[in-house]
């Protein structure tokens, strides 16, 4: 741990929140002298204070301890390259336009890489009344089902939640050609081009 880097980050984040050293100290139940000491790189917060400091400054604890945020590069708006983070415990789905730090149910999530669907894995897609009508013969039981279907175009993401024990039938507006993605609870994330 680099006390100087951590202190500099604490100072920057505190100022972004328009907080004085005293205001931060009061939130953490420490003295303003302690906050000043951290910000000057003369020491680090006590281990017991780190979760509270992370919450008050609204920063990931790992980033706080690293002393740098490591911001993503500014990216274009191509939604086709979106990343999907799927919680194996509760099934929560988070979509992001770039790599990001995501956690759910107390676990860090990694972006799931979609596999290209082949043959019988593909969903059936028809155009009906200016919408993609999407169906599949995929099992839809509590233990094995498609949890969501999404269409990604250059500037749009449309995601439809699916439920176990219902047939997979959904409609998505025919916005443009893109990538159709879906997540099987047992086999992972798949895509096919539309």
Which two tokens mark 9? 């980050």
Beta bridge partners of 111: 85
Structure confidence at residue 146 (pLDDT): 95
**3-66 has which CATH code?**
1.10.260.40
Structure confidence at residue 13 (pLDDT): 93
Structure confidence at residue 70 (pLDDT): 73
Higher pLDDT, 142 or 79: 142
Structure confidence at residue 154 (pLDDT): 86
Domain 79-193, CATH number (from 2.40.30.210, 1.25.40.80, 2.60.40.730, 3.30.1540.20): 2.60.40.730
Cβ-in-10-Å burial (0-12, 13-18, 19+) of 83 comes to: middle
**Residue range 154-181, pLDDT digits in tens:** 889 999 999 998 999 999 999 878 999 9
Query: 69 pLDDT band (50/70/90 cuts)?
Result: confident
- Alpha-carbon distance values, 81 to 13, 96, 100, 153, 159 (Å): 31, 9, 13, 9, 15
Average pLDDT over the chain reads: 91
Q: Distance between CA atoms of 153 and 88, rounded to whole angstroms?
A: 26
Instruction: Select from 8, 40, 13, 43 the least CA-distant residue to 27.
Output: 13
Structure confidence at residue 105 (pLDDT): 92
Say yes or no to pLDDT of 74 above 60. Answer: no
Structure confidence at residue 176 (pLDDT): 77
- Averaged pLDDT for residues 128-155: 93
Say yes or no to pLDDT of 73 above 80. Answer: no
Structure confidence at residue 72 (pLDDT): 56
Structure confidence at residue 76 (pLDDT): 58
- The model carries a pTM of 0.70
Structure confidence at residue 125 (pLDDT): 96
- Within its chain, how far is the Cα of 154 from the centroid? 19
Extents of the domains making up the chain? 3-66, 79-193
């Amino acid at each position: 741990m680099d006390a100087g880097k951590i202190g500099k980050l604490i100072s920057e984040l505190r100022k972004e929140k328009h907080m004085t050293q005293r205001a931060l100290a009061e939130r953490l139940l420490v003295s303003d002298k302690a906050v000043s000491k951290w910000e000057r790189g003369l020491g680090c917060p006590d281990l017991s204070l780190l979760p509270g400091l992370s919450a008050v400054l609204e920063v990931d604890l790992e980033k706080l301890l690293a002393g740098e945020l490591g911001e993503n590069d500014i990216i274009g708006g191509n939604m086709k390259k979106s990343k999907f983070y799927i919680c194996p415990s509760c099934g929560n789905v988070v979509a992001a336009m770039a790599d990001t730090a995501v956690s759910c149910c107390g676990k860090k999530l990694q972006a799931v890489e979609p596999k290209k669907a082949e043959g019988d894995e593909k969903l059936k897609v028809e155009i009906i009344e200016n919408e993609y009508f999407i169906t599949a013969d995929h099992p839809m039981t509590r233990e094995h089902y498609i949890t969501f279907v999404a269409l990604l175009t250059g500037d749009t993401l449309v995601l439809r939640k699916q439920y176990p024990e219902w047939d997979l039938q959904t409609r998505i507006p025919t916005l443009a050609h893109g990538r159709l993605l879906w997540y099987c609870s047992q086999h992972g994330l798949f895509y096919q081009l539309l």
